[in-house]
């Protein structure tokens, strides 16, 4: 039976308005809706008076202006970035120019190793955090403390931010309610993503605030469903290979029935991410290196 993911897509907000969503937490949604961003990027503000901003968002002047207008009379003391995709980090530059606040993140996109631009189209190569955070490191502000939780997979530099003493986790694009995450090699890594899902199961958080879409109020069930979904996808890929379907395009055609045409490339990258992982585990092999165009088959062990 197919795994049911308890998706959450009911989402009420008004573009351009900084709105309270929970004690200590406000959110403003940027007007950059797409098949990858749902209604747009949700920029979070934590605290009151002296605040942290999480994921300033895309390079949209009106978004930064609306955020600053919503924060009139308050001071931004910290700019936190979950990861370096162009819908998350570019507005950090404008926000920093306006506030002088330092930026915090794991590091530059893909460790600063610029790859094939066609593959890395979503990466923000310009963002370099002022302060680098490692797993478990704390960021202390006025009335709040964050713990950085390194969750590579969607990108190698992805961080979630746990709000201390509140069981709240800002989950970025690692775990979202409206959709699964895109895992696009080379920076996206399926094995790392699965390990990062397991990592969240070991945490006591009771609510996740992802960067896109509504909060997840049963996070453990949600994470378990994602793990089961990926395992199911992996079995589907192995079935394709057993049936002699060894190209990524053919596998996508068989496994993703009814997929929006605009999402075909992303689906292909996720399948490729699975194949790289399976090849690394010795389960599958390819003619030559495990590229997206390679021909794959079950390994003859």
How far is CA 214 from its chain centroid?
Answer: 14
Question: Nearest approach, Cβ of 256 to Zn ion (angstroms)?
Answer: 20
Residue 124 interacts with Zn ion (CB under 5 A): yes or no: no
Q: How far is CA 156 from CA 27, 105, 193, 199, 299, in A?
A: 26, 12, 9, 15, 28
Q: Which is nearer to Zn ion, 57 or 246 (CB)?
A: 57
Q: Which is nearer to Zn ion, 251 or 269 (CB)?
A: 269
CB 87 within 8 A of CB 159: no
From 54-62, 125-133, 165-173, 227-235, span contacting Zn ion (CB under 5 A): 165-173
Q: Which is nearer to Zn ion, 81 or 163 (CB)?
A: 81
Q: Which is nearer to Zn ion, 121 or 198 (CB)?
A: 121
Q: Which is nearer to Zn ion, 89 or 99 (CB)?
A: 89
Name which position in 55, 59, 173, 187 contacts Zn ion (CB under 5 A).
173
Query: Can you give the length of the chain in residues?
Result: 301
Q: How far is CA 82 from CA 14, 19, 252, 285, 291, in A?
A: 23, 21, 29, 34, 28
Question: Nearest approach, Cβ of 299 to Zn ion (angstroms)?
Answer: 32
- Give, for 62, the enclosing helix (H) or strand (E): helix 61-70
> Contacts with Zn ion in 35-94 (CB under 5 A)?
85
> ∠ CA(220), CA(226), CA(228), 5° rounding?
100
From 1-9, 66-74, 167-175, 191-199, span contacting Zn ion (CB under 5 A): 167-175
Q: What is the rounded end-to-end Cα distance, in angstroms, of the chain?
A: 29
> Contacts with Zn ion in 194-253 (CB under 5 A)?
none
**Residues near Zn ion, by CB under 5 A:** 85, 173
């Amino acid at each position: 039976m197919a795994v049911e993911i308890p998706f959450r897509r009911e989402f009420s907000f008004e573009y351009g308005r900084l709105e309270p969503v929970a004690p200590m937490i406000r959110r403003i949604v940027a007007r950059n809706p797409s098949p990858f961003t749902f209604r747009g990027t949700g920029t979070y503000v934590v605290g009151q008076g002296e605040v942290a901003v999480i994921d300033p968002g895309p390079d949209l002047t009106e978004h930064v202006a609306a955020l600053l207008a919503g924060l009139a009379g308050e001071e931004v003391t910290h700019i936190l970035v979950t990861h370096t995709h162009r819908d998350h980090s570019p507005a950090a530059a404008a926000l920093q120019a306006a506030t002088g606040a330092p930026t915090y993140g794991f590091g530059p996109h893909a460790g600063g190793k610029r790859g094939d631009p066609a593959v890395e189209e979503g990466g923000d190569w310009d963002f370099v955090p002022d302060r680098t955070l490692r797993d478990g490191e704390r960021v202390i502000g006025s009335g709040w403390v964050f713990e950085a939780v390194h969750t590579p997979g969607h990108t190698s530099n992805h961080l979630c931010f746990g709000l201390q003493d509140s069981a709240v986790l800002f989950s970025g694009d690692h775990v979202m309610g409206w959709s699964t995450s895109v895992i696009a090699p080379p920076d996206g890594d399926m094995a790392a993503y699965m390990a990062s899902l397991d990592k969240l199961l070991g945490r006591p958080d009771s609510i996740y605030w992802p960067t896109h879409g509504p909060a997840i109020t049963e996070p453990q069930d949600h994470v378990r469903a994602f793990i089961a979904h990926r395992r199911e996808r992996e079995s589907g890929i192995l079935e394709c290979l057993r049936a002699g379907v060894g190209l990524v395009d053919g596998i996508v055609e068989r496994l993703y029935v009814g997929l929006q045409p605009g999402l075909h490339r992303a689906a292909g990258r996720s399948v490729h991410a699975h194949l790289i992982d399976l090849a690394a585990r010795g389960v599958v092999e390819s003619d030559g290196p495990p590229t997206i165009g390679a021909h794959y088959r079950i390994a003859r062990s």
